[in-house]
């Protein structure tokens, strides 16, 4: 699902979903009633957009391959996110595979979701960021030459760039523009 790229932006922030955009429940989140937009997310997305970033969700959704839910269920959660944030997200990529069921180069820590978005949206990897909550998110970003920030609780030294939530990460990314 992509919006038309109406601007000639060459930079984006890739966003992991669970634990970054919505509250991590510790279980698959596929029912819109269980999907809770994390505090500060609408503000963070609007801040990034104001500074010229495209917003691209990249999410592993192994529950699809496991038969626990469908792509339609994921898209219903995405619509709830879009509604809460003023329809500001430009694209959503999902990797429905799981190693126990099927092979997938899209599933993070592999980078096919990011590579597709980089090509399709004509993005400059050096001008992009990924905000995730797991080391596998960082690994996927690094494979494409995209810088990454981890959010949430992580042991010190887990990653060079760590912030407590998406809003803090967005403010930090904006402050680094032009460095």
Domains of the chain: 12-176 (3.40.50.1000)
Q: Which of 24-33, 63-72, 75-84, 148-157 has the highest mean pLDDT?
A: 75-84
Among the listed residues 18, 73, 90, 137, the single catalytic one is 18
Active site residue 16: yes
pLDDT at residue 40 tops 90: yes
Rounded Cα gap, residues 18 and 13, in angstroms: 16
pLDDT at residue 5 tops 60: no
Find residue 157's DSSP bridge partners.
Answer: none
Active site residue 34: no
Give 105-115 pLDDT, tens digit per residue.
778 999 999 99
Give 91-141 pLDDT, tens digit per residue.
999 998 766 556 667 789 999 999 999 999 999 999 999 999 999 999 999
How far is residue 98 from each of residues 74, 109, 118, 166, measured CA to CA in Å?
15, 12, 23, 26
């Amino acid at each position: 699902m992509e919006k038309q790229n109406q601007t000639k932006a060459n930079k984006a922030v890739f966003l992991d979903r669970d634990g970054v955009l919505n509250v991590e429940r510790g279980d698959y989140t596929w029912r819109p009633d269980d999907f809770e937009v994390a505090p500060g997310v609408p503000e963070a997305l609007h801040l990034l957009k104001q500074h010229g970033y495209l917003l691209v969700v990249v999410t592993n959704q192994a529950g699809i391959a496991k038969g626990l839910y469908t792509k339609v269920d994921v898209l219903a959660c995405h619509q709830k996110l879009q509604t809460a944030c003023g329809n500001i997200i430009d694209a959503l990529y999902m990797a429905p595979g799981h190693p126990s069921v099927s092979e997938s180069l899209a599933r993070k820590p592999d980078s096919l979701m990011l590579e597709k978005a980089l090509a399709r949206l004509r993005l400059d990897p050096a001008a992009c960021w990924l905000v995730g909550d797991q080391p596998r998110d960082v690994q996927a970003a690094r494979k494409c030459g995209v810088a990454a920030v981890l959010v949430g609780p992580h042991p010190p030294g887990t990653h060079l760039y760590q912030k407590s939530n998406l809003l803090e990460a967005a403010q930090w990314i904006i402050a680094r523009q032009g460095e």
